[in-house]
Amino acid sequence: MEKFTQLTGVAAPLPIINIDTDMIIPKQYLKTIKRTGLGSALFSEMRYNEDGSENPDFVLNKPAYRHASIIVAGDNFGCGSSREHAPWALLDFGIRCVISTSFADIFYNNCFKNGILPIVVTPEQLKLLMDDAERGANATISVDLEAQTIRGPDGGSIHFDIDPARRHVLLEGLDDIAATMKEGAEIAAFEHKLSASRPWI
């Protein structure tokens, strides 16, 4: 998993509440177990018209936001069914950070397992960031996970809180397996001790 330390990129505004995982990646794309190739289907029901052509009004189809790496979204982002394809699609498109006032628990957890930083801010902070994101090509935001800050295009800074353990796995680029393997020596020592004290197991 790629480490997340600092990110400077275009932020796309998505001022919609209750964006669920079916909106992020509709159910017809869930047949694959590959983590790649889903970026083109991200928000497909909003991005594309019925004939398959792009909807020019959708934010990610606008020239300024085609290469956005941050999304600033309304409340309760990632609600709905617990599909891990949702963070896969975001990551495959190039989104490394989502900022909102709240997230659905399972989606929030899945983000950390896939190298995406979900940041919770206050409604007042979200309004400021949404205003920044609506600047089009000038909507560049810098996220510093080490310092736990978000810096807007005018230089204003917002501090965000994050669980230290979650912060650590992103900074180190550790998924669940990699995090477990880092404790290999301790695990081996425990197994050796257990084997000596309970040989019948």
Across 99-113, 128-142, 165-179, least confident range: 165-179
Quick one: average pLDDT of 109-132? 96
Tokens describing residue 123: 């409604």
Work out the pLDDT band at 194, boundaries 50, 70, 90: low
Quick one: average pLDDT of 43-65? 96
Closest CA to 25 of 96, 80, 103, 98: 80
Work out the pLDDT band at 3, boundaries 50, 70, 90: very high
- The percentage of residues in the chain with a pLDDT greater than 90, rounded to a whole number, is 75
Tokens describing residue 113: 């397992």
User: What does the mean pLDDT of the chain come to?
Assistant: 91
Residue partners of 60: CB distance under 8 A and separation at least 6: 12, 42, 43, 47, 66, 68, 93
Work out the pLDDT band at 36, boundaries 50, 70, 90: confident
The Cα–Cα gap between 72 and 14 comes to 6
Please name each of the domains of the chain with its CATH number.
6-176 (3.20.19.10)
Query: What pLDDT, on the 0 to 100 scale, is given for residue 181?
Result: 55
Judge contact between 128 and 152, C-beta under 8 A.
yes
